[in-house]
Amino acid sequence: MTVALDDYALFLRKNGIKVTPQRLEILRYLDKNRNHPNADMIYRDLKKKNPSLSRTTVYNTLDTLRSHNLIHALTISESELRFDSIINPHQHFLCKKCGEIIDIEVECPYLKEVLQGGHRIDEVHGYFKGVCKDCLAKEGGS
Amino acid sequence: MTVALDDYALFLRKNGIKVTPQRLEILRYLDKNRNHPNADMIYRDLKKKNPSLSRTTVYNTLDTLRSHNLIHALTISESELRFDSIINPHQHFLCKKCGEIIDIEVECPYLKEVLQGGHRIDEVHGYFKGVCKDCLAKEGGS
DNA sequence: TTCCTAATTTGTAATTGTTTCAATTTAAGA
DNA sequence: TCTTAAATTGAAACAATTACAAATTAGGAA
Ligand SMILES: [Mn+2]
Ligand SMILES: [Mn+2]
Ligand SMILES: [Zn+2]
Ligand SMILES: [Zn+2]
């Protein structure tokens, strides 16, 4: 999933995933909220409109989407998985001040070099951590 | 901490950390076991020789060492922190087959580029995941 | 050397994110 | 419409980590 989708049901069907209202809602949520939410953010937000939603369904659906390689999981936080509906190769910046996770649009030039080690590489994660531009500005001349 | 230490007490004192037997043992362990252990590996191994060791002490000591920037924490695993006593900039490969975390000695060429975004970068984590050379060899021509 | 005290260690309990599981419901093909 | 395998649900289990208060101790002062 890379650009905003118009037909989530079709998208699921095309990927061999059975269509359910819960999956549609979670998929739409990920597509519309590109701030790398965690499972609980998704659960709490969607629970408002669908009070019978189960936390387990959120976890199950995220696992399903991951196993079909339609979303990615980030381990940039030390305590929880964050989910990314944009699967184009890109890296991430975590602001330790405000907690925001910002996309960094650089490509990984290591790959060829690392592949020469003989390992098979399936995933590349580039995580930068520090203080974001906005938080730095707010801090001012402290 | 980068090269093997000979005097752990001196090392702690030099860094303004009070010397205790527990801290010495944990520090030695990290220095001798460079396989990026998690807190529980450290706890279980050291508990053999010092049965009164508390899990909390392991966590506390790891936090102390981290806050003095003497060790690093890796979020390469999805379920636990792994600790690295080598703080030279380097990246990591996680084999999803055998679980081993292998050092990748490449430098990050992004930094300048990412810094132009205006963020302050304190940490750089490069994580590669896949199947390591040895596991690939064992799999054979499957 | 002994004393003092703030810092450290310890064990237990609490918390948090995630997984397991069995019962109920449901999507979608026959 | 019927059927059934798959999905959803809620509760309980789990694992990593943190909080906390009581007991111990390192290291400086007397
Ligand atoms: Mn992203
Ligand atoms: Mn390392
Ligand atoms: Zn920020
Ligand atoms: Zn391997």
Q: What is the CATH number of the domain that holds B135?
A: 3.30.1490
Which one of A119, A121, A122, A131 makes the best mutation probe of the B interface by having the most chain B beta carbons within 10 Å? Answer: A119
- Does residue A15 surpass a pLDDT of 70? yes
Q: At what angle do helices B55-67 and B21-32 cross, to 10 degrees?
A: 70
The percentage of chain A sitting over the pLDDT mark of 70, rounded to a whole number, equals: 89
* Domains identified in chain B, total number: 2
Residues of A in contact with B104 (CB under 8 A): 110, 114, 117
Query: Cα dihedral sign for A83, A84, A89, A92?
Result: negative
- Does residue B140 surpass a pLDDT of 70? no
Total-model pTM: 0.93
pLDDT band at B111 (very low <50, low <70, confident <90, very high): low
Tabulate helix, strand, coil % of chain A (nearest 5): 40, 20, 40
Q: Output phi, psi for A120, to 5 deg.
A: -95, 125
A-B contacts at Cβ under 8 angstroms? 119
**Are A12 and A77 contained in the same domain?**
yes
Residue showing tokens 């330790």: A96
- Does residue B112 surpass a pLDDT of 80? no
* Domain final position from A41, A66, A85: A85
- Does residue B6 surpass a pLDDT of 80? no
User: Are B119 and A78 inside 8 Å of each other by CB?
Assistant: no
Domain extent, residue A36, equals: 5-85
**Are A9 and A64 contained in the same domain?**
yes
pLDDT in tens, A38-88: 999 999 999 999 999 999 999 999 999 999 999 999 999 999 999 999 999
Say which residues have a Cβ less than 8 Å from residue A103's Cβ, sequence separation at least 6: A86, A90, A91, A92, A93
> What is the least distance, in Å, from the CA of A127 to any CA of chain B?
5
- Does residue B97 surpass a pLDDT of 60? yes
Check residue B106 and give its pLDDT. 83
* Domain final position from B65, B85, B105: B85
Q: From A108, which residue of chain B is nearest by alpha-carbon distance?
A: B110
d(CA B97, CA B32) in angstroms, rounded, equals 25
Say which residues have a Cβ less than 8 Å from residue B84's Cβ, sequence separation at least 6: B34, B36, B71, B72, B73, B74
Cβ pair B92, A75 in contact under 8 A: no
**Are B79 and B65 contained in the same domain?**
yes
**Are A77 and A106 contained in the same domain?**
no
Q: Taking Cα atoms as reference points, which of B94, B90, B93 lies closest to residue B123?
A: B90
> What is the least distance, in Å, from the CA of A69 to any CA of chain B?
14
Chain A residues interacting with chain B (CB cutoff of 8 angstroms):
73, 75-78, 81, 91, 93, 95-96, 102, 104, 106, 108-110, 113-114, 117-133, 136
- Does residue B141 surpass a pLDDT of 70? no
The percentage of chain B sitting over the pLDDT mark of 90, rounded to a whole number, equals: 82
Q: What is the mean pLDDT of residues B122-131?
A: 95
**Are B53 and B95 contained in the same domain?**
no
Least confident of A16-30, B2-16, B37-51: B2-16
User: Which CATH number is B65's domain given?
Assistant: 1.10.10.10
**Are B79 and B96 contained in the same domain?**
no
CA of B52 to C1' of D6 (A): 50
Q: Is the model more confident about B103 or about A108?
A: B103
Nucleic strand C under 7 Å from the C-beta of A20: yes
Query: Cα dihedral sign for B45, B47, B50, B55?
Result: positive
Q: What is the mean pLDDT of residues A95-109?
A: 89
Residue showing tokens 């527990």: B22
* Residue B57: other Cβ atoms inside 10 A: 18
- Does residue B45 surpass a pLDDT of 80? yes
> What is the least distance, in Å, from the CA of B7 to any CA of chain A?
31
**Are A19 and A55 contained in the same domain?**
yes
pLDDT band at A107 (very low <50, low <70, confident <90, very high): confident
**Are A62 and A107 contained in the same domain?**
no
**Are B100 and B79 contained in the same domain?**
no
**Are B66 and B119 contained in the same domain?**
no
Q: Output phi, psi for A129, to 5 deg.
A: -130, 145
Q: What is the mean pLDDT of residues B23-35?
A: 97
* Domain final position from A65, A85, A105: A85
Chain B residues interacting with chain A (CB cutoff of 8 angstroms):
73, 75-78, 81, 91, 93, 95-96, 102, 104, 106, 108-110, 113-114, 117-133, 136
* Residue A75: other Cβ atoms inside 10 A: 20
**Are A113 and A130 contained in the same domain?**
yes
Check residue B54 and give its pLDDT. 98
**Are B106 and B75 contained in the same domain?**
no
Instruction: Tell me how far the alpha carbon of residue A121 is from its chain's centroid.
Output: 20
